[in-house]
Amino acid sequence: MFGLFLQIMEGYRKTILESGIPVITEHMTSVESVCLGLWIRTGSRDESASERGLSHFIEHMLFKGTTRRSALDISRDIESVGGSLNAYTGKEYTCVHVKVLQKDFLLAGDILIDMLTDSVFDPLEIDRERMVILQEIKMIEDTPDDYVHDLFNRSFWGDTNSLGFPICGCQETVHSFDRAAIVSFLERYYKADRLLVTAAGKVSHHEVVDLFGSRLACLSRGSGETRRQAIRGGQNGPRVIHRDLEQVHLCVGTNGLHYGDDRRYAAHVLTTLLGGNMSSRLFQEVREKRGLAYSIFSFLNMYEDAGLFGVYAGATRDTITMVVELVMQELREILDGRLGAEELRAAKEFLRGSILLGLESPDGRMSRLAKNEMYFGQDIPMEAALAKLEGVTLDEVVAVAREMFDPGTLCVTLLGPVREDELKCDRWVL
């Protein structure tokens, strides 16, 4: 056994390997599959300005071949057993995950470990993948309802704060990446103190520990170095980016809560009742009653020490000002405490159902294990989380709204066929 201790709670198992890497599993008796995730607690937030997009670039390169497998071998070995292999990069972490039948677990684990510890980063493959990522950036820029979020993050967090960096980077930085830059970043951040292994499904905890304990023992613990910066509030005043489009795409937001804030349950309820589903206030007022938008929703982005609450909408040039004013009106109504018991109940039931439905699959449970460990250092039993959600009161929702909806951090970003001097920005106040 390669672990220092084992924590057991129902189907939940946690072992800390001798290298310091947590291995966490949850056994599910009702499925035949296993979802296995290898998490690196490093993302775009850990990059310098010249490294913007490097975490995402490395995530792509992990699929481009090891000393034992070509890029084709990696995909073919998984797909030949009916499995799926994928990855994604966030602001604070990178995840490579695989889902297979239980009988193919050892193959899946071997491939993940191979990708992490033995990728070759061939310069020819780097150049090929550079072109792929440049196309991905262009695709985002050609998708305004996605691109406006990148622009909004930059406006909200500021040009020099890494939370505002686009995860894919920019053309200038992506063009500059070479093998030396990749290896340097890996040597700083892809260390045992930043790794986490999670698995859910028809899985043996001891089998996961034995496999990863032996194969990851070669990794050094790392120095704990971080580039994460002190957080400052959002930027005042609207930012308008003119582009010839059919719609104006809007993001408006204020400071949110960090991941570990105990008020997060009230914040999720608030986000849901405001714009989290089809029965929410914004959807009903802006789309159903007035027909001003096809898409409108609210969102809550939480990080280890900061957060962002926002609203997105897409509308025509002629109606975008009215949409912004309606959003502000709904925010002011909540600040004034004009909430009803029925909408509180409905929002809590929606969240409860969404959480439980998401945990019917090994994928959802694997991800939940990782995020609980990264942000809380322990498992949070589902019963405890649901009890916290059920206990949220109207007063708590209004209180957290008054905390987050700070006029001093209000930020508005618009992308589309409009100019700032055409807008009635003086009305956009809380």
Catalytically annotated residues: 59
Tokens 């089809």 belong to 278
CB-based contacts of 356: which residues, under 8 Å, 6+ apart?
A: 382
Angle, to 10 degrees, between the axis of helix 71-79 and the axis of helix 105-118?
A: 160
First to last CA, the chain: 58
Separation between Cα atoms, residue 298 and residue 311, nearest integer Å? 4
Write the DSSP assignment of 73-118 as a string of letters: HHHHHHHTTT-EEEEEE-SS-EEEEEEEEGGGHHHHHHHHHHHHHH
Spell out the long-range contacts of 384-391 with Cβ–Cβ below 8 A and sequence spacing 24 or more. 385/355, 386/352, 386/355, 388/265, 389/265, 389/268, 389/269, 389/348, 389/351, 389/352, 389/355, 390/348, 390/352, 391/265
**Residue 226: helix, strand or coil by DSSP?**
coil
Nearest CA to 182 among 137, 126, 112? 126
